[in-house]
Structure 1
Amino acid sequence: MAEPDATTRKPRRPGIAPGARHRARTALRRLTGHPRAAALIRRLAPRSVRTRTTLAACASVAVVLLATSAVVLLQLRGNLERTVETGGRAQARDVARLAAAGRLPRPVTLGPGTDFIQVVDADGKVVAQSQNLTGRPALTPTGTRNGHRTYNLDALGEEHHQRVTTVTTTSPSGPVTIHVGASLRTADAAEDVTTAALAALSALLISTVGVLTWRTTGRALRPVEAIRAEVAAIGDRDLDRRVPAPRSDDEIGRLADTMNAMLERLEAAGTRQRRFIADASHELRSPLAVLRTQLEVALTHPDPEVRDTLVAGALQDTERLQALSADLLLLARLDATGQSRPTEPVDLVELARGTVAVRSTDSHPVTLHAADDITVHGNALWIGRLLTNLLDNAQRHARHSVTVRLSTAPETGDAVLDVTNDGPPIAPADQEKIFERFARLDDARSRDDGGTGLGLPIALDIAALHGGTITVLDTPDGTTFRTRLPAGRPSPSPSASDTH
């Protein structure tokens, strides 16, 4: 028994010549490679996230629907063709049994779903056939398609697909071949209806997905547009404004919180910068005015002794201006360094001994108590400047002595540097104020005893740059400035530049 042969009556579509396809691809490449065409494509390409998201969603759904529809149509077509083939095979076997028994009717009766039946002998002569093929010659193959033989069925006078099943058997007069043609008209109709239904359903689904994606994306991006508009409207003098924060705890909400936190930092930085500029202008204006007055008086005063006194005072004010300029430059460098922590190993005990040793002429003696070995990672010059500023502050406020203690925190292993003076305690309300730039307490305002107001802020910035802290403590020995520096090696970062 041979396999069934598929025969079609639908006209064949004209093919595309390989040369024409190559010329079309070449023309397309030339068109897209042209500068004007490329510019046009860039202009036509969607720029908004909303449009791109909608197109991507529609394209994704279209691909899924196309693949699903193709699978559904293939399965439907296969099931229908197998049903038709089963019916045709059963009809062919029935005719084969009649032929083998010598009881083959003339004409052969058609069964349900069967278009024609033809029985031919070994010489190709028609032995029997259905009534609609009366007087027609034997069917002969005209070629093959997709591995199946094809037949010319013009005798039927109908334009539709058919499945031809061929069965061979032996009759009393010799071997015969039975051709049974089963109609695929129902399968074609079902396929067309299903294709139309899937196309309509796919168009509806793609349209629905496009509309929902467009509206959902627009609603989701509306807070982003509000944030963008608010940020665009904020100027350098409007840093107190904040972007609207949505109530949802999602990426957009976190973006708004981050933007507001950044604006708060910018506002605080701007406030500190303006205050710093105002304080620096005030601190520079006073000694400059005094210096000019002294020089003018010294220039016109006839008494040489008075003139020498005025020049000495002018030199003192010049030294104060020089110290203030150096402190301002150091603060600027510390601010520019940011979060870049130096990583050089520093022997804190040796550094403290060297710093205390060169201060033997201080008004109050400095006593050092240090452990054997304490090493931190940082910049030796800056840590030395931190200790120097703390000692200068202690010397200005001490009554009799200053004590420096170096130890290691037992719980964390951090280095602890205590600078204690036996002077008057600092009020709790002033313990944070003294670390503000140009902030000096009332008893340190004189030109002889008061500093520039930048020593403690510089020390605090240096400690923060090294990952440490400075706190003020009231101890039995007096007022203690405690500096804690981490003992662990920080993550690699560019080393801080020299401060001089």
Structure 2
Amino acid sequence: MTVRTRVTVVAGAALTAAVALGLVIMYLVQLGSARTTIDNQLRTYATQIEQSGQSGRWPSPLPASPLDANAEAQVLAADGTTVLAATRGLAEYGAVYTLAPGSDTPVRQSAADRGLGGELRAYATHTTVDGRSVDIVTLTTTTSLGQINETFTRLLLIGIPTILLLASGTVWLVVGRALRPVEQIRRTTTEISAADLSRRVPEPTAHDEIGELARTMNGMLARIEDSAVRQRRFVADASHELRTPLAAIRTTLEVGLAHPQRAPWREIAERVMRQSSRLESLVEQLLLLARSDDRHLVQARSRVAVEPLLREVCASTAPTRVPVVLRPATAQADVLGDAEQLERLVRNILDNAIRHARSRVTLGIDTVAPDTLAIEIADDGPGIPAQERDRVFDRFIRLDTSRERGSGTSGLGLGLAKEIAAAHGGTITISDAPGGGAMVRIILPRAAD
């Protein structure tokens, strides 16, 4: 069953049950009200009959009821069967109802079945009139209760099916109209393929749940499209980067094999080793980026002292054309994270600073903020334009428009640094260094004392 059918069935059944319950309650209320009205009229009539015999003699026939033209009455002796007086309609009848001693419920007798038609409603009471104990019985042949029953039966047999049809039809139309945007969303979604993720589902103008669903789905499609575009670009760039060292290795070996007797095999081996190292580094960075995409970049966390980590990075950095100056920290600064990944984070940014510095690179810690610390790496190179400072952290991005690869860089170092910082709850910002050049600040949360 479709949602439309289920809602129609449930809503129609619920509405029909509610109407039926309302009719039953109304029937019971009307039936009780009619019975109460008839009983009050009969009670008032009995009081009138009692007053008519206070003179010691009963009128013959007994007076009629001013409230109900169909009402009849009998006055019975103390034995409960002898009729002392009766209205005109019961003059030739014996006791039609009797009242047992100590009871207030009249008992129907066979005399009532001889000529009294219709539904009978009776009232009886023990009383004393002019010193004599008598029973006064009043009754009426009324059709009001039968009319109520007939009306209720008609409503059940005709009104309930009609209400069910009208309610089901209305719910079917309303639900169909409400679900029409959902059907449009479904059709559009089935037409969207991996080859074309630019399409979006139609968004209803109404700000309801379906509108929110459409907007949420379009946001999801936008994220999927962006992810697919980034993935295709990543695969293309990675393939290009991997192809370069592989092509260099193959070309070098082909040249050597073409002239095996004259080839400088030692030089060839050194070139192959350099390209292999470059290829190994690239594959390692790609694997780390894949782990960062799966949120598995940081496997275990521990307390890491930042200043010893910076000293280790400086000590293990190969001698370069520019010196790296480590500013001493003024206070103990610890972070919670993976020491190996944090070292890779600092080293990637430091290598980039060394590559662009003219004469010096400065490395230090800023612990001004109470809950964060900043690792500052500054160089005196040409700096990074403000409009490019966010783009340099994208994968396979080089600001050198010629994409010259003589430096051996792949454009993954800063992108990986950004992922490592994010995995530790930190950020990386770039600004101008005080003496010119670029200042990179790695902001990390401090470990609790």
- Give the alignment's TM-score, normalised by structure 1: 0.79
Distance 1:213 1:202 in 2: 16
- The residue that corresponds to 1:51 in the other structure is 5
Change (3 A) 1:372 1:409: closer
Q: Structure 1 residue 481: deviation in Å? A: 1.7
- 2:47 pairs with one of 93, 105, 129: 93
Q: Structure 1 residue 222: deviation in Å? A: 0.8
Q: Is residue 133–residue 155 contact of structure 1 (8 Å, CA) maintained in 2?
A: no
- The residue that corresponds to 2:265 in the other structure is 307
Distance 2:405 2:49 in 1: 129
Q: Which one-letter code corresponds to 2:72 in the other structure?
A: F
Deviations along 1:387-412, one digit per CA (max 9) or x if unpaired, are: 111111112112222111221354x7
- The residue that corresponds to 1:127 in the other structure is 84
Residue 376 in structure 1 maps to residue 332 in structure 2: no
Q: Which one-letter code corresponds to 1:296 in the other structure?
A: E
Q: Structure 1 residue 386: deviation in Å? A: 0.8
- 2:147 pairs with one of 183, 186, 189: 189
Q: Is residue 118–residue 180 contact of structure 1 (8 Å, CA) maintained in 2?
A: yes
Deviations along 1:183-206, one digit per CA (max 9) or x if unpaired, are: 332343245336646876665555
- The residue that corresponds to 2:59 in the other structure is 105
Q: Which one-letter code corresponds to 2:397 in the other structure?
A: A
Distance 1:192 1:231 in 2: 56
Partner SS for 1:164 = strand
Change (3 A) 1:225 1:368: same
Q: Which one-letter code corresponds to 1:169 in the other structure?
A: T
Residue 117 in structure 1 maps to residue 73 in structure 2: yes
- The residue that corresponds to 1:424 in the other structure is 382
Change (3 A) 1:371 1:196: farther
Distance 1:114 1:344 in 2: 100
Distance 2:419 2:222 in 1: 20
Change (3 A) 1:406 1:299: same
Partner SS for 2:443 = strand
- The residue that corresponds to 2:17 in the other structure is 63
Higher relative contact order (CA 8 A, sep 6+): 1
Partner SS for 1:252 = helix
Q: Which one-letter code corresponds to 1:129 in the other structure?
A: A
Change (3 A) 1:348 1:215: farther
Q: Structure 1 residue 301: deviation in Å? A: 3.5
Q: Is residue 5–residue 172 contact of structure 2 (8 Å, CA) maintained in 1?
A: yes
Q: Is residue 204–residue 214 contact of structure 2 (8 Å, CA) maintained in 1?
A: yes
- The residue that corresponds to 1:482 in the other structure is 441
Distance 1:120 1:443 in 2: 124
Partner SS for 2:53 = helix
- The residue that corresponds to 2:28 in the other structure is 74
- The residue that corresponds to 1:357 in the other structure is 315
Which moved further from structure 2: 55-64 or 80-89?
A: 55-64
Pairwise CA RMSD? 3.0
Q: Is residue 118–residue 142 contact of structure 2 (8 Å, CA) maintained in 1?
A: no
Partner SS for 1:105 = coil
Distance 1:339 1:51 in 2: 49
Change (3 A) 1:94 1:134: same
Deviations along 1:244-297, one digit per CA (max 9) or x if unpaired, are: 111122211111111111111111111111111111111111211111121233
Distance 1:313 1:140 in 2: 127
Q: Structure 1 residue 453: deviation in Å? A: 1.6
Distance 1:390 1:93 in 2: 111
Q: Structure 1 residue 348: deviation in Å? A: 2.8
Partner SS for 2:252 = helix
Which moved further from structure 2: 92-101 or 165-174?
A: 165-174
- The residue that corresponds to 2:113 in the other structure is 154
- The residue that corresponds to 1:319 in the other structure is 277
Q: Structure 1 residue 356: deviation in Å? A: 2.4
Change (3 A) 1:462 1:406: same
- The residue that corresponds to 1:251 in the other structure is 209
Change (3 A) 1:488 1:202: farther
Which moved further from structure 2: 182-191 or 224-233?
A: 182-191
Q: Which one-letter code corresponds to 1:227 in the other structure?
A: I
Distance 1:186 1:448 in 2: 108
Change (3 A) 1:488 1:186: farther
Q: Which one-letter code corresponds to 1:132 in the other structure?
A: G
Partner SS for 2:168 = helix
User: Where do 5+ consecutive residues of structure 2 fail to align?
Assistant: none
Distance 1:258 1:387 in 2: 38
Deviations along 1:161-203, one digit per CA (max 9) or x if unpaired, are: x221112223458321111112332343245336646876665
Q: Is residue 84–residue 113 contact of structure 1 (8 Å, CA) maintained in 2?
A: no
Q: Structure 1 residue 54: deviation in Å? A: 2.2
Partner SS for 2:203 = coil
Distance 1:159 1:240 in 2: 81
Q: Which one-letter code corresponds to 1:258 in the other structure?
A: T
Q: Is residue 105–residue 124 contact of structure 2 (8 Å, CA) maintained in 1?
A: no
Change (3 A) 1:64 1:443: closer
Residue 440 in structure 1 maps to residue 398 in structure 2: yes
- The residue that corresponds to 1:264 in the other structure is 222
Q: Structure 1 residue 384: deviation in Å? A: 1.8
Q: Is residue 380–residue 433 contact of structure 2 (8 Å, CA) maintained in 1?
A: no
Q: Is residue 80–residue 187 contact of structure 1 (8 Å, CA) maintained in 2?
A: yes
Partner SS for 1:226 = helix
Partner SS for 1:246 = coil
Identity of aligned residues (%): 36
Partner SS for 1:62 = helix
Deviations along 1:411-440, one digit per CA (max 9) or x if unpaired, are: x74322221112222234443343222222
Q: Is residue 83–residue 94 contact of structure 2 (8 Å, CA) maintained in 1?
A: yes
Q: Is residue 341–residue 465 contact of structure 1 (8 Å, CA) maintained in 2?
A: no
Q: Is residue 409–residue 415 contact of structure 1 (8 Å, CA) maintained in 2?
A: yes
Residue 166 in structure 1 maps to residue 120 in structure 2: no
Distance 1:304 1:443 in 2: 38
Q: Which one-letter code corresponds to 2:209 in the other structure?
A: E
The number of residue pairs the alignment matches comes to 438
Q: Which one-letter code corresponds to 1:117 in the other structure?
A: A
Q: Is residue 473–residue 480 contact of structure 1 (8 Å, CA) maintained in 2?
A: yes
Change (3 A) 1:468 1:199: farther
Change (3 A) 1:429 1:281: same
Distance 1:317 1:247 in 2: 58
